[in-house]
Amino acid sequence: MPQKLVIILASTDPLSGEALSAPLFQASVAAGMNYHVEVVCTGTAAKLLRNGAAASIHLKPDEKRSVYDFIKEGHAAGVRFFCFSPGLDVCHLRKEDLIPECSGVIGAAHFIEEIMSGDCRVLTY
């Protein structure tokens, strides 16, 4: 049985709390179920990992917690957040610009190797 879930944020609008609610919620739930969970942000979704960006986004208008609060909760539950290297270029980011909850930047070879393993399932948003 697979023990790893990779959630890829590729086409998700990083400024839309509504678009981010499902993947962030699923990541936290899966981590709470003791699965190894990684959220990989690529393309313009990498903006979500910029310091300060997620703190100003809310999942819905009446929600007091920000998207960053949900990222911190997921991270505390064991979710690891990564920036896919092309996202740095697309969003004009440097590693120093990323939130502390980001576990690092991954490249194509690492990414492909992970998602092709038989122990992994992938959700893409």
Q: 11-49, pLDDT tens digit by residue?
A: 988 888 889 999 999 999 999 999 999 999 999 999 999
Q: Helices (H), strands (E): how many in the chain? A: 4, 5
Answer yes or no: are the C-beta atoms of 93 and 46 closer than 8 Å.
yes
The pTM assigned to this predicted structure is 0.93
pLDDT band at 124 (very low <50, low <70, confident <90, very high): very high
Average pLDDT value over all residues in the chain = 93
Structure confidence at residue 29 (pLDDT) = 97
What does the DSSP 8-state code read for residue 113?
H
Could you identify the residue written with the tokens 């899966």?
30
Answer yes or no: are the C-beta atoms of 101 and 75 closer than 8 Å.
yes
- Percent of the chain residues past pLDDT 70, beyond the cut: 100
Could you identify the residue written with the tokens 């690891």?
80
Query: Which helix (H) or strand (E) segment is 71 a member of?
Result: helix 67-77
